[in-house]
């Protein structure tokens, strides 16, 4: 099979999506959508993520040093797409009737309808041109009890259906195209 060389890009390398939850200076929750997220090892599992530009999520993480990352599932895709396309600088962003809970170990907002939420403590901020790489300790994993059932991993993954993204499109756990960035949010109605 022949190969072609391309400039840096990551199409055909699907990424898992998370909603980062933070509190602003007034204690109001803010959520944004993120895919530049992976794992590290430092005696225990940790997280690395990259946040570009200036955005409320980054300001809040810098100030509080803690945040949550809730897994995006097909059920959550409409609101996730909305939270990734509307800036937290819009005072009405969070007026969409989200079911918001709290972490069990850290004082962070989480998405109650997500089956898995990481409670993260940011330990290192690495400043790059136009972005910040953040290394985190995983202080808790808050997981739906239903994921402790006797079903196979395959059955449980099929049931929760995490969404993947690549090529500026969302894909279902089974590989179906769920629309381009900015499309699923059309189902979200502001309250």
The residues binding ligand FMN (CB under 6 A) are 30, 32-36, 50-52, 55-57, 84-85, 87-88, 165, 181
CB-nearer residue toward ligand FMN: 49 or 106? 49
Q: How far is the CB of 131 from ligand FMN (least distance, A)?
A: 7
CB-nearer residue toward ligand FMN: 50 or 100? 50
CB-nearer residue toward ligand FMN: 104 or 180? 180
One DSSP character per residue, 110-167 reads EETTSSEEEEEEEEEEEEETTEEEEEEEEEEEEE-GGGGSSS-HHHHHHHH-B-EEET
Q: How far is the CB of 102 from ligand FMN (least distance, A)?
A: 18
Q: How far is the CB of 18 from ligand FMN (least distance, A)?
A: 9
CB-nearer residue toward ligand FMN: 2 or 53? 53
What gap in Å lies between CA 180 and CA 97, rounded to an integer?
A: 24
Q: How far is the CB of 30 from ligand FMN (least distance, A)?
A: 5
CB-nearer residue toward ligand FMN: 1 or 68? 68
Task: Identify whether the C-beta of residue 41 lies closer than 8 Å to the C-beta of residue 87.
Answer: no
Q: How far is the CB of 190 from ligand FMN (least distance, A)?
A: 15
Other residues' Cβ atoms within 10 Å of the Cβ of residue 175: 8
Q: How far is the CB of 140 from ligand FMN (least distance, A)?
A: 22
CB-nearer residue toward ligand FMN: 103 or 109? 109
Exposure string for 23-56, b = 16+ CB within 10 A, e = fewer = bbeeeebbbbbbbebeeeeeeeebbebebeeebb
One DSSP character per residue, 93-123 reads TT-S---EEE-SSSS-EEETTSSEEEEEEEE
Distant-in-sequence, close-in-space partners of 179: CB < 8 Å, separation ≥ 6: 81, 169, 170
């Amino acid at each position: 099979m022949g190969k072609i060389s391309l400039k840096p890009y990551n199409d055909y390398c699907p990424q898992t999506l998370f909603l980062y939850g933070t509190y602003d200076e007034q204690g109001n929750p803010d959520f944004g959508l993120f895919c530049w997220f992976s794992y590290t090892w430092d005696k225990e599992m940790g997280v690395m993520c990259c946040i570009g530009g200036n955005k409320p999520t980054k300001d809040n993480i810098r100030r509080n040093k803690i945040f949550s990352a809730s897994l995006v599932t097909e059920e959550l895709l409409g609101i996730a797409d909305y939270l990734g396309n509307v800036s937290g600088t819009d005072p009405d962003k969070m007026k969409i009737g989200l079911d918001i809970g709290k972490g069990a170990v850290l004082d962070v907002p989480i998405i109650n309808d997500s089956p898995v939420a990481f409670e993260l403590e940011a330990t290192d901020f690495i400043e790059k041109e136009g972005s910040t790489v953040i290394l985190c300790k995983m202080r808790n994993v808050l997981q739906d009890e239903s994921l402790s059932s006797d079903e196979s991993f395959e059955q449980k993954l099929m049931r929760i259906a995490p969404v993947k993204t690549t090529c500026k499109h969302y894909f279902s756990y089974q590989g179906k195209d769920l629309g381009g960035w900015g499309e699923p949010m059309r189902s979200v109605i502001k309250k």
